[in-house]
Structure 1
Amino acid sequence: MGSREYPLVLGAVVALNVGFPDPVVATRAGQELPVAYSLPEEPRIQIGTVDGDGSSLFGVADAIRLRDGRILVADGGSGSLKFFDSRGAFVRAVGRAGDGPGEFRRLGRVAELEGGAVAALDPLLGRVTVFSPDGGLARTHDVSRDFRSTGRSVHLYGFLANGALVGLEEIEGEGVVEANYGDFPSSTLTYRAPVVQPVLIDTLGRTVTFGQSMPGNENLYQRQVSVGSERIRVGGQTVSAPFLRKVAVAVRGTWIALGPIEGHLVSAFNARDGVPQGHVAVFGGPPPKEVPQRVQDEWIDEKVVRFPRRTERRTWRDRYEDFLASAPGPMTFPPFKALALQEGGAVWREVYDPALEEGGPSHWIVTDPSTLGFGGTVVLPPGFRPYDIGRDYVLGGWSDELGIEFVRMYDLIEGSSGGQR
């Protein structure tokens, strides 16, 4: 597998500062990136089965490799944490679906903490459950209680090694943008762009802010009101679009990486002493691509075709067109789709390319803070999504053609000598 060329907007830059001053910028334009890692054709370990025993997986939310070599899978379908040995054989499961101690309504991120305990997040209940290294229930903590009591809203993304949670808290007031297209408050297309502040929530529930506030995820909501003879029905749904702004966040060990996917700046923080102190600014990447008018028209067609009456389709088409026309500049695809962190703090950014086949190989740019520049590129197998990236492995989820879920672990081979192409 040879090198892959990505035109760089600002070049390959990493600037390390103490505190949060503006990072120093150096540029290298038009850089051709080498291959950072390649993968063999076959995974070292594959977990999953169609037999319905303890190894079967459904709705996997996360998976990590523990320090002793075991693999932990957050299996959302069963509401349990499943432990596998270093060869992928099923060992035991802890937890189940429910609201009680040691139970989960919706499994989220998991992490191995200092000392070997395992923490699991339930984003629906806003609760953290900690299990001992052997799987016994140690404690639970209602993280969202303080936020609910004050009306604050926070989205949680993952654990640091000391058990603290990393999140983005919405800031009300100045900077928040809202717009309605239609007959508000009845049937309307609502756009909202909040402002968010990175926060750290420690194991005692105390909140510490770090970094700087930034624009949060853009949201588009389709709200419908219908009046019948006896009652009024209110319904709606969140509208997806590849050109809406998003903030990506990754957490691993003592490192935090976050930034807007439509930009070329990712901020990475090292919380080695419990509080994010170091600021690493990662620049550069492929330039954003303008969304062709044909793609915008097809996006609108997809959204309005579900309405049964022609008048409704025309009304909602006008609203979507008004939304696109109100944008301050041309609609663009983001340069990146997602962030991930490798053991040691290297930042992986997934390149967004509308020309790439859906479900095909994913392309990543790796930036290692220790080298002050791009480490190179990685191509991951079709349909494979990374959960945990070690120094010499990548663990992630994959589904076969029947939709059966598996967790796979591949070796990471430095340079271009692997089998994935």
Structure 2
Amino acid sequence: MNMRTTRTMRTLKAPSAVLVGVLCVACAGGGDGGGGLRSTVRDSAGVTIVENGRPLPDSRLGWRVGPEATVLIGTAGGDPAYELFRVGGTMRLSDGRIVVANAGTGELRVYDPDGVHLASWGGQGDGPGEFGAMAPGAVEPWPGDSLMARDSFRSRISIFSADGTFGRALRLQGGYQRVVGPLPDGSVFAATLTSFERGEPGTSELIRPDLEYGILQADGSVQRDLGAYPGSELYLVNTANGPPWPRAYPFDRSASDFVWGDLVVITTNDSYEIRAYRTDGSLARIVRRDHEVRPPTRADLRDYVARQNPDRPEALDAVADMPLVDAFPAFNRVVVDRLNHLWVEEYRLLGEDQRLWTVFDPVGRALGMVEMPGSFRVTEIGEDYILGTRRDALDIEYVQSWPLDRSGS
């Protein structure tokens, strides 16, 4: 991986048909909450701070996610246009067409609102509008009803018009690898992972490489560096021969970055706090929500590994000395919908089936909780739909669209 800088990293010491109900919200400090949520909004030296109570376990918004998916794209065999492999992301265009980043074939595949294949853009190669290995890794809206597709290994994005015409490639300068998203003023929010040093052979450790962020101009040149922030935790096995072997940590605290209106969000799930910055790097908004802090136990760790490896009991040996962190992550993922609401996925352990998301309004006031369909990874939330992916028992990939009704309280 093309890392931007090299530094000694911090090592952590051992010691994420759905019916929804009604929620009462008391905003800006008013009201008693009525058994529902209480939100307060205040200003502190130019920073808006939004404090939210914890939703009751059975609280639900008056919104409805439909009882079944209305669009299903994917097949175990047959027409190759419907065989999906390494889906990196999905999005819906303004006319209802669905674009799928199918990294396994280096294509952007386009389907009509009913899921019928219309066209494939791009392809694997080095030419204009083509993609390298493991790309496109994501597809997201770009201003003017266009779209961008990420090619992170090449530190670039490709921009296409809504009819599939390749517009231009934006190559990231300054060592940045990944475009997080475009900003309303035409600039670009970008990030890169810093490198880390290996420990002594035969040792293992929990590490947390930094992520460095910056604002790039429309041509990819650096407008402003925003600095380094904690990234995601990794369990590093320092082998005697060859490079160190980073592995995902079961209960890793991780970084979240995204564009929220004209702000950029750089935050982690160490605590239930979302921090948004202006493009000059100054802190603009902090959104907090009460949550239960729970420390993982050795039994939790063994249960997690056993569920991931049901046919490999020897996998438990690899985590016998794995350190435990102080607390489970406060939440899982964050998605900004097309109406600028934040949807925050509640953290859950393997085996916990209920998939709850807390929804915040564009200011950051918690509205309540929504339960998502099981075995479904959300990629985009529109005004009246939820788009995402899932895998079946045979590991076949599918793209689904579910209806969303926001008309309730």
TM-score calculated relative to the size of structure 2 = 0.77
Percent identical:
23
Q: Does 1:383 align with 2:383?
A: no
Q: Does 1:345 align with 2:340?
A: yes
8 Å contact from structure 1 (residues 335, 353) kept in 2: no
Cα offset for 1:64?
0.5
1:64 to 1:190, Cα distance in 2 relative to 1, 3 A? same
1: CA distance between counterparts of 2:97 and 2:405? 21
Q: Does 1:280 align with 2:285?
A: yes
Q: Deviations over 1:19-55 (max 9, x none)?
A: x844445564675643253211112222223323323
Q: 1:366: which partner in 2?
A: 359
1: CA distance between counterparts of 2:50 and 2:166? 48
8 Å contact from structure 1 (residues 64, 387) kept in 2: yes
Q: 1:82: which partner in 2?
A: 109
Q: 1:114: which partner in 2?
A: 143
Cα offset for 1:277?
8.1
Aligned pairs for 1:4-43 (under 5 A) are 13=39, 15=41, 21-24=46-49, 26=51, 28=53, 33-35=59-61, 37-43=63-69
Aligned-partner residue type, residue 87 of structure 1: D
1: CA distance between counterparts of 2:294 and 2:218? 42
Aligned-partner residue type, residue 192 of structure 1: I
Q: 2:8: which partner in 1?
A: none
1:290 to 1:317, Cα distance in 2 relative to 1, 3 A? closer
**40, 49, 70: which one pairs with 1:44?**
70
1:350 to 1:92, Cα distance in 2 relative to 1, 3 A? same
1:253 to 1:404, Cα distance in 2 relative to 1, 3 A? farther
Aligned-partner residue type, residue 239 of structure 1: R
Q: 2:268: which partner in 1?
A: 260
Aligned pairs for 1:294-309 (under 5 A) are 294-296=299-301, 305=314
**125, 128, 137: which one pairs with 2:154?**
125
- Once the two structures are overlaid, the 10-residue window that deviates more, 333-342 or 234-243, is 234-243
Aligned-partner residue type, residue 144 of structure 2: G
- Once the two structures are overlaid, the 10-residue window that deviates more, 212-221 or 100-109, is 212-221
Unmatched runs of 5 consecutive residues or more in structure 1 = 148-152, 226-232, 308-312, 325-329
2: CA distance between counterparts of 1:42 and 1:297? 35
Q: Deviations over 1:380-404 (max 9, x none)?
A: 1111111111122111112233322
- Once the two structures are overlaid, the 10-residue window that deviates more, 254-263 or 82-91, is 254-263
2: CA distance between counterparts of 1:367 and 1:385? 19
1:113 to 1:317, Cα distance in 2 relative to 1, 3 A? closer
TM-score calculated relative to the size of structure 1 = 0.75
SS at match of 1:295: helix
2: CA distance between counterparts of 1:300 and 1:60? 25
2: CA distance between counterparts of 1:241 and 1:4? 37
SS at match of 1:167: strand
1:293 to 1:113, Cα distance in 2 relative to 1, 3 A? closer
8 Å contact from structure 1 (residues 12, 283) kept in 2: no
8 Å contact from structure 2 (residues 273, 286) kept in 1: yes
1: CA distance between counterparts of 2:303 and 2:74? 38
Cα offset for 1:336?
0.6
1:137 to 1:214, Cα distance in 2 relative to 1, 3 A? closer
Q: 2:400: which partner in 1?
A: 408
Q: How many residues align?
A: 371
Q: 2:326: which partner in 1?
A: 331
8 Å contact from structure 2 (residues 250, 304) kept in 1: no
8 Å contact from structure 2 (residues 22, 62) kept in 1: no
- Once the two structures are overlaid, the 10-residue window that deviates more, 73-82 or 104-113, is 104-113
Cα offset for 1:331?
2.5
SS at match of 1:290: coil
8 Å contact from structure 2 (residues 158, 170) kept in 1: yes
Aligned-partner residue type, residue 77 of structure 1: G
Q: 2:174: which partner in 1?
A: 146
Q: Deviations over 1:121-166 (max 9, x none)?
A: 11111111112332122222321x431xxxxx65543444666443
